C-alpha cells in the first residue's frame, strides 16, 4: 500500500523521510541503546523548561499578589438585639410574632397582662389628688398665718399701749387718793381736837350743849370722810394691780404676736412638704404609667425575629430574654488576618468580599477598623507562654470590613466569607 507521505512535493520529501526514520528509530528504542551524549542534553532541557515555567508562575503570583492581602478566615457579623420584659412577675397574654418573621421598629411583639399595672396607676392617681388637696390646704393656712401675724402684732402693740396708759391713770388716781386720805386724816384729827376742847368748855359750863353736839357731828363727819377716802385708796390700789396685770397680759400678747415670722416659716415649711408630696406622687404616677406601658413589648429595632422562647401564659422577668431581633440592614464582615498581613493595613482602604452563600460574586467594601489586640487575647483563657514550652504560633488580628453595597442581597450574620484588602491601590 502506497504511503501518503509520497504525495509530498520533491523539495519536502527529504525531511519527511527523515521524520519516518526518526519514528522508526523511536519504535526500536527498547531494542537498542541511545547514543551516550543525547539523553543528558534532553533532560537538561526539560529541567530548564520546568524551572523557567515555575519561575514564571511564581513571578506572576508574586506580581499579582503585591499590594493586597487576602484571607478565607472571615465571616459576616451583625447585631443581635435581645428583647426582654421591663417588669417582673407578669403573665404573657399574647405572643404576636413567629420565628423568622420580619418586624418594623415599634411593632408590638408580646402583650402582658395589664390588670395589676392598671390598678397601680389608679392608686397613684388617687394619691396625687390627695397630695394636691393637702398642698392647697397648706397654702391657704400660710396665707391666713401671714395675714393674722401682722394683725395680731398691731393689736398686741395697741393693747400694750392702752394698758400702759391705764396704769398711768390708775397710779395718778392712787396718788390723789393717798392725798385725799392724808387730808381726811388731818380734818379728822382737827375735828377730834375741836371736840375735846368743846367737851372741856362744856364741862366748865362755858359753852352750851348745842356747841358740843355740833363739834361731835363735825368729828363724825370727818371720821366718815376719812373712811371713805381710805376705801377709795384701797380701790385705787386694787385698780393699780389690775392695770399692772393688764400690762403684763398685753406684753404676753405682744410677745406672742412677735412670733409671727416663726409661724409663717412653719406654715411655709408645711407648704414645702406638701409640694414635695405632690412631686413624689407625680413621680409614682409616672412610674406606674411606665410600668403599664411596659406591658406592651415592642420592637426596639427593625429586624428578623430569632431565638424566640416566649410562650403564652408564662411569667416574665427582666433577666430572661423573650426573643432576639437581628437587623439585616446593619451587617459587616470580620476578617481574621495573620499578624504579618496587617503591617500596611489602615482604615479606609479598599476591600473586596466574597460570600460563600453567593458563590464568586464580589461585594465592594472598605476597611473600617482594626482590632486593638489579637483574637487570642480576648479568649476566656488567654494564652500565657511560659519559658521552656514556648511554640510560636502565628496570631490573627480581627479586621472589621464594611460593605459599600450588598447589591440588594440579604446577608445574614454567621455566613462564611473571603476578604481581600488592597493595601496599595
Q: Provide the 3-class DSSP secondary structure of residue 375.
A: helix
Q: What is the average pLDDT score of the chain?
A: 80
Question: Global pTM?
Answer: 0.58
Q: What pLDDT is recorded for position 332?
A: 95
Domains and CATH numbers, the chain: 68-81+326-422 (2.40.30.170), 117-284 (1.10.287)
Phi then psi for residue 44, to 5 deg, are: -65, -40
- Least confident range from 28-37, 151-160, 169-178, 216-225: namely 28-37
C-alpha cell recorded at residue 95 = 405572643
Q: Which residues contact 385 (CB under 8 A, 6 or more apart)?
A: 391
- CA separation, residue 420 to residues 102, 158, 327, 394 (Å): 32, 101, 25, 19
Q: With CA atoms as reference, report the closest residue to 355 among 410, 416, 423.
A: 416
Q: Which residues contact 263 (CB under 8 A, 6 or more apart)?
A: 145, 149
Q: What is the dihedral of CA 122, 123, 124, 127, to 10 degrees?
A: 130
Q: With CA atoms as reference, report the closest residue to 75 among 354, 324, 303, 359.
A: 354
DSSP for 114-140 reads -HHHHHHHHHHHHHHHHHHHHHHHHHH
pLDDT band at 254 (very low <50, low <70, confident <90, very high): low
Of the chain, the percentage scoring pLDDT greater than 90 comes to: 45
Burial class (CB in 10 A: 0-12, 13-18, 19+), 219: buried
- What stretches of 259-305 show up as alpha helix (H) in DSSP? 260-293
Checking if the pLDDT of 35 tops 60, the result is no
Burial per residue of 371-406, b for 16 or more beta-carbon CB atoms within 10 angstroms, e otherwise: beebeeeeeeeeeeeeeeeeeeeebbbbbebebeeb
Q: What average pLDDT does this structure show over 273-287? A: 95
> Which of residues 383 and 71 earns the better pLDDT score?
71
Q: Provide the 3-class DSSP secondary structure of residue 377.
A: helix
Q: How many residues belong to the chain?
A: 425
pLDDT band at 9 (very low <50, low <70, confident <90, very high): very low
pLDDT band at 335 (very low <50, low <70, confident <90, very high): very high
Eight-class DSSP state of 378: G
User: Could you read off the pLDDT of 306-328 as tens digits, one per residue?
Assistant: 999 999 999 999 999 999 999 99
Task: Give dist(CA 83, CA 64) in Å, integer.
Answer: 48
Task: Give dist(CA 197, CA 50) in Å, integer.
Answer: 185
Q: What pLDDT is recorded for position 1?
A: 36
Task: Give dist(CA 347, CA 423) in Å, integer.
Answer: 10
Q: What pLDDT is recorded for position 147?
A: 78
Q: With CA atoms as reference, report the closest residue to 362 among 418, 401, 402.
A: 418
CB 110 within 8 A of CB 95: yes
Task: Give dist(CA 313, CA 115) in Å, integer.
Answer: 15
Amino acid at each position: 500500500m502506497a504511503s501518503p507521505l509520497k504525495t509530498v512535493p520533491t523539495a519536502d520529501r527529504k525531511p519527511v523521510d527523515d521524520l519516518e526514520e526518526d519514528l522508526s528509530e523511536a519504535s526500536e528504542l527498547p531494542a537498542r541503546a541511545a547514543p551516550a551524549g543525547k539523553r543528558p542534553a534532553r533532560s537538561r532541557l526539560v529541567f530548564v523548561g520546568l524551572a523557567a515555567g515555575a519561575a514564571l508562575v511564581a513571578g506572576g503570583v508574586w506580581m499579582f499578589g503585591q499590594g493586597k492581602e487576602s484571607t478565607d478566615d472571615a465571616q459576616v457579623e451583625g447585631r443581635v438585639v435581645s428583647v426582654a420584659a421591663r417588669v417582673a412577675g407578669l403573665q404573657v397574654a399574647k405572643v404576636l410574632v413567629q420565628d423568622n418573621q420580619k418586624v418594623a421598629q415599634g411593632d408590638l411583639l408580646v402583650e402582658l397582662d395589664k390588670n395589676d399595672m392598671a390598678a397601680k396607676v389608679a392608686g397613684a392617681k388617687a394619691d396625687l389628688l390627695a397630695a394636691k388637696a393637702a398642698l392647697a390646704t397648706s397654702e391657704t393656712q400660710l396665707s391666713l398665718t401671714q395675714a393674722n401675724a401682722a394683725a395680731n402684732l398691731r393689736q398686741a402693740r395697741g393693747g400694750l399701749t392702752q394698758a400702759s396708759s391705764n396704769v398711768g391713770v390708775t397710779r395718778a388716781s392712787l396718788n390723789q387718793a393717798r392725798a385725799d386720805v392724808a387730808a381726811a386724816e388731818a380734818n379728822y384729827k382737827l375735828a377730834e381736837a375741836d371736840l375735846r376742847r368743846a367737851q372741856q368748855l362744856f364741862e366748865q359750863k362755858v359753852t352750851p350743849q348745842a356747841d358740843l353736839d355740833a363739834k361731835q357731828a363735825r368729828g363724825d363727819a370727818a371720821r366718815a370722810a376719812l373712811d371713805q377716802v381710805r376705801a377709795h385708796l384701797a380701790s385705787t390700789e386694787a385698780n393699780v394691780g389690775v392695770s399692772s396685770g393688764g400690762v403684763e397680759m398685753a406684753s404676753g400678747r405682744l410677745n406672742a404676736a412677735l412670733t409671727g415670722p416663726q409661724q409663717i416659716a412653719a406654715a411655709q415649711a408645711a407648704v414645702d412638704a406638701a409640694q414635695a408630696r405632690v412631686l413624689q406622687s407625680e413621680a409614682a404616677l409616672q412610674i406606674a404609667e411606665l410600668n403599664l406601658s411596659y406591658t406592651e413589648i415592642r420592637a426596639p429595632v427593625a429586624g428578623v425575629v430569632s431565638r424566640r422562647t416566649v410562650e403564652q401564659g408564662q411569667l416574665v422577668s427582666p433577666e430572661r430574654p423573650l426573643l432576639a431581633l437581628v437587623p439585616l440592614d446593619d451587617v459587616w464582615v470580620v476578617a481574621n488576618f495573620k499578624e504579618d498581613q496587617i503591617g500596611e493595613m489602615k482604615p479606609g482602604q479598599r476591600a473586596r468580599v466574597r460570600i460563600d452563600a453567593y458563590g464568586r460574586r464580589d461585594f465592594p467594601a472598605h476597611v473600617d477598623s482594626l482590632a486593638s489586640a489579637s483574637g487570642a487575647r480576648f479568649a476566656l483563657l488567654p494564652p500565657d507562654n511560659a519559658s521552656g514550652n514556648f511554640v510560636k504560633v502565628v496570631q490573627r488580628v480581627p479586621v472589621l470590613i464594611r460593605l459599600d453595597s450588598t447589591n440588594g442581597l440579604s446577608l445574614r450574620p454567621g455566613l462564611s466569607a473571603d476578604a481581600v484588602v488592597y493595601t496599595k491601590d
